[in-house]
Amino acid sequence: MGVLENKARARTFYKYLSKVYDRVNPFVWNAEMRDEALEMLDVGRDDRVLDVGCGTGFGTEGLLEHTDDVYALDQSTHQLEQAWAKLGKHDPVAFHLGDAERLPFRDGSFDAVWSSGSIEYWPNPVVGLREIRRVLEPGATALVVGPDYPNSTLLQKLADAIMLFYDEEEADRMFEEAGFVDVEHRVMQAKPGSPKAIVTVARAPERSEGAD
Could you tell me if residue 69 is inside a domain?
Answer: yes
Q: What angle do CA 33, 183, 47 make, to 5 degrees?
A: 65
Could you tell me if residue 57 is inside a domain?
Answer: yes
Could you tell me if residue 187 is inside a domain?
Answer: yes
> 6 vs 83, 115, 119, 205, CA distance in Å?
22, 18, 12, 30
Could you tell me if residue 2 is inside a domain?
Answer: no
Tens of pLDDT along 171-194? 999 999 999 999 999 999 999 988
What CATH number is attached to the domain comprising 130?
3.40.50.150
Number of structural domains the chain divides into: 1
Tens of pLDDT along 71-127? 999 999 999 999 999 999 989 999 999 999 999 999 999 999 999 999 999 999 999
Q: Worst-scoring range by mean pLDDT, 60-64, 144-148, 151-155, 180-184?
A: 151-155
Number of CB atoms found within 10 A of residue 171's CB: 24
Could you tell me if residue 1 is inside a domain?
Answer: no
Tens of pLDDT along 50-82? 999 999 999 999 999 999 999 999 999 999 999
d(CA 46, CA 105): 19
Could you tell me if residue 169 is inside a domain?
Answer: yes
Q: What is the DSSP pairing of strand 110-116 with strand 136-147?
A: parallel
| pTM, two decimal places | 0.89
Domain that holds residue 61: 7-209
Task: Report which residue type is found at 121.
Answer: Y
With a CB cutoff of 8 Å and minimum separation 6, the contacts of 125 are 119, 164, 174
Closest CA to 13 of 59, 66, 67, 75: 75
Could you tell me if residue 88 is inside a domain?
Answer: yes
Query: Strands of 93-97's sheet, edge to edge?
Result: 93-97, 69-74, 48-52, 110-116, 136-147, 196-203, 181-189
Could you tell me if residue 202 is inside a domain?
Answer: yes
